[in-house]
Structure 1
């Protein structure tokens, strides 16, 4: 009598999964085909170890610390560069400071004259006892500070009868559409390059400092 293989299902223990394989009688010719697969705990531990070595995972706390460290490093580099620039500027300013004697300043305000001449700016004192001409400077921003006297000062609008007297310098006879102001001691004006300006009336006299910021 031919005996049919008697097969059952038996779970094989595993830590993470369960494998169910057919187990046949040892006398069955199909016993080899249904040989049970035994996975020991040691073998599974070895598999896990190999997987961990081949595909290492960085813990979250380590990644977070790495990002924080990179951000801190970038901040320190930026702060260091900023400090270097500031210190360099301070050294340049302190070593290149210019002092003008009060006697020279008084003379420039009384009769007009240059006080400081540099590639990027000019400082002078001016004294007027009569009206002037309309002026436009193509590459000079004028900063005026009135120290004495009074005048009628016109800015803006359009120059009338303008002529180029020197490269970048215009002189005219009148202004249309400008704004007229009465100026006196303590007034400050900033006239950007290209804006017409004019001491239209000077009742007695007016004295003022002029700082010309030069464009390259």
Structure 2
């Protein structure tokens, strides 16, 4: 059985990818399996650059294929912000709540029909041979004027899914995975995985 390393310590993400890669007979590990790998600084200015930084560092440290993702929220009225800075939008000591509150304040005077936004995710697999597989996904919606729902994390309580009209934080995990940017990127990654595995030259 081969192995891949998911460049995260998030056990939920690891379990999700393990289940989806089950048919490929791969063992999915996380960064907790490699405590010698410290925090990887994300210095890129795009989602793809940050995903590459993480995946390349982990692949070189472990000698295994590594998969990383980077994602964030793009708001049209804010020229794409907070974008790659979504997790630290409110500055030092940023929390999900502080980030969402800052976002709502920035959009206070923006009309409802101009509050369009999307979550975007780039997922990247990197092999020690240097081969890469890059996929992406977007989830269209708009920013609400108030918080709603208690599921999910990040900007989910203020992001409204354009298809259902419900806040992301009101959706079940299954519903969210079907619609979300990360779910779309992951399904594309899995569709291209056999060809990538062959190119990567893994025994």
TM-score bin (small chain) = under 0.3
Q: Name the structure, 1 or 2, with higher relative contact order (CA <8 Å, separation 6+).
A: 1
Q: Which protein has the larger Cα radius of gyration, Structure 1 or Structure 2?
A: 1
With normalisation by structure 1, the TM-score equals: 0.23
With normalisation by structure 2, the TM-score equals: 0.24
Higher relative strand content: 1
